Structure 1
Amino acid sequence: MPSDSSSATPRDRLLDAAGELFYLEGVHVGVDAVCKAAGVSKKSMYQVFRSKDALIAESLTRVGVEFLAALVPSGRDERSPRERILHLFERQDQMSELKAFRGCPFVNTATELKQADHPGSVVARAFKQQMTDFFRTEAIAAGIADPAVLATQLTMVFDGASAMAVVRAQPLGGAGVAMASAVLSASVLHER
């Protein structure tokens, strides 16, 4: 969520502007455009962030926290593991209906950067692992024999559904939910 620009620090304004521009247009967006959107001089930007790479990583961290919070049910959610997993795909489906939906910010960033050791790629990988870990935790709670395999499959469904929505420029219309449900059923993940 963007900070109130009247009280936000230059750092917060830069992170907000970078997060939005990098998600909507890609991390190739120049520092000049980010600084202009943030209302911060380029000199000030480099006083706050040592490089554009650092800005990419930190802005993706901020976006990542918000993105996962919007998808993953709270720890107090008492639904079954299957329902909790499907909740994430239902939220993805809802997000795909937004005009500004550009898919998964982690996959987008890592794909555009193409360097596994880039600070942005490292952040993207860590957040994708958090999603996979969520699926694995739910699979363990459901008593699945190989929770790591199921978690990987569900992550692939999520990423594939995101890509489909972006490539087709259409909302998912339940496709991701249906595919995740089929994978869960094949794994014998039934409600407890």
Structure 2
Amino acid sequence: MTRTTDPAPPRDRLLRAAAELFHREGIATTGVERLCQVAGVSKRTMYQLFETKDALVAESLAACGPAVVAAHLPDGTSGLDPRERILAVFAHLDELSGSPEFRGCPFLNTVVELRDPDHPASVVARSYKQRLTDFFAEQARLAGAPDPATLARQLTIVYDGSTSRAVTQGAGLDGLAVLTAGALLDAHLRTG
């Protein structure tokens, strides 16, 4: 029997452990046994709480999603104009990418690893990625972009590409994400 000193309910411990392990080590390489050990629960308890590992993957991503999104977007009290709010997202990514612990975007990683657009976790991941695109679209609209929806999708591509590059290279972006997003914003806002 697994024991833990964490007073949180087993479900919460499993969701936290799953979010951490799946992002750090990958979904396929994180076995149920390891997950249960880290969470301090038995396999029996896990399967009583979650029908399958896939269900746990989806629920853990949904549970950690709001905090991930909030950490990457400037809050409404930042005092930044719309262009600066967009660039703040990329500056944060530039900063994170220089850390040896940087593992990329948990939503993008999940979809890439699962390679199944209909998997429940892929659906959750897409919904959170859409929140980023919606944020970009709203800020682009406020900045006066002539086609905020297209600009938002382009900015999301820059974000995802920057994330992938940092993980692939194992090195920080050194300002490249901000520079690229800024050039894209300037091109769109000049034509407005």
Normalised by the length of structure 1, the TM-score is: 0.93
Which residue number in structure 1 is paired with residue 168 of structure 2?
167
Report the CA distance between 1:99 and its aligned residue. 1.8
Q: Is the 8 A contact 2:58 2:124 kept in 1?
A: yes
| Deviation digits for residues 106-154 of structure 1 (CA, Å, limit 9, x no counterpart) | 1110011111110100000000000000000001111111000000000
Which residue number in structure 1 is paired with residue 93 of structure 2?
92
Which residue number in structure 1 is paired with residue 11 of structure 2?
11
2:36 maps to amino acid: C
User: Where in structure 1 do 4 or more consecutive aligned residues deviate above 4 Å?
Assistant: none
Which residue number in structure 2 is paired with residue 107 of structure 1?
108
Q: Is the 8 A contact 1:17 1:37 kept in 2?
A: yes
2:78 & 2:117 partners in 1: Cα distance?
35
Q: Is the 8 A contact 2:144 2:189 kept in 1?
A: no
| Deviation digits for residues 33-76 of structure 1 (CA, Å, limit 9, x no counterpart) | 11111111000001111211111011112232121111101122
Q: Is the 8 A contact 2:146 2:189 kept in 1?
A: no
Q: CA RMSD in A?
A: 1.6
1:39 & 1:160 partners in 2: Cα distance?
36
Q: Is the 8 A contact 1:139 1:189 kept in 2?
A: no
SS in 1 for 2:145: coil
Which residue number in structure 1 is paired with residue 26 of structure 2?
26
Report the CA distance between 1:98 and its aligned residue. 2.0
Q: Is the 8 A contact 1:93 1:172 kept in 2?
A: yes
Normalised by the length of structure 2, the TM-score is: 0.93
1:102 maps to amino acid: R
Which residue number in structure 1 is paired with residue 38 of structure 2?
37
Q: Is the 8 A contact 1:5 1:13 kept in 2?
A: no
| Deviation digits for residues 150-189 of structure 1 (CA, Å, limit 9, x no counterpart) | 0000000000000010010001111111111111111117
1:147 maps to amino acid: P
1:78 aligns with 2:73: no
2:146 & 2:88 partners in 1: Cα distance?
22
Q: Is the 8 A contact 1:14 1:35 kept in 2?
A: yes
Q: Is the 8 A contact 1:142 1:189 kept in 2?
A: no
- Structure 1: which 5+ residue stretches go unaligned? none
2:17 & 2:108 partners in 1: Cα distance?
20
2:26 maps to amino acid: G
Q: Is the 8 A contact 2:136 2:152 kept in 1?
A: yes
Q: Is the 8 A contact 2:162 2:173 kept in 1?
A: yes
2:6 maps to amino acid: S
Kindly report which structure 2 residues correspond to 1:110-129, keeping only aligned pairs within 5 A, or say none. Answer: 110-129=111-130
The alignment-based identity, stated in percent, is 51
Which residue number in structure 2 is paired with residue 141 of structure 1?
142
Q: Is the alpha carbon distance of 1:102 and 1:141 closer, same or farther for their aligned partners in structure 2, counting shifts above 3 Å?
A: same
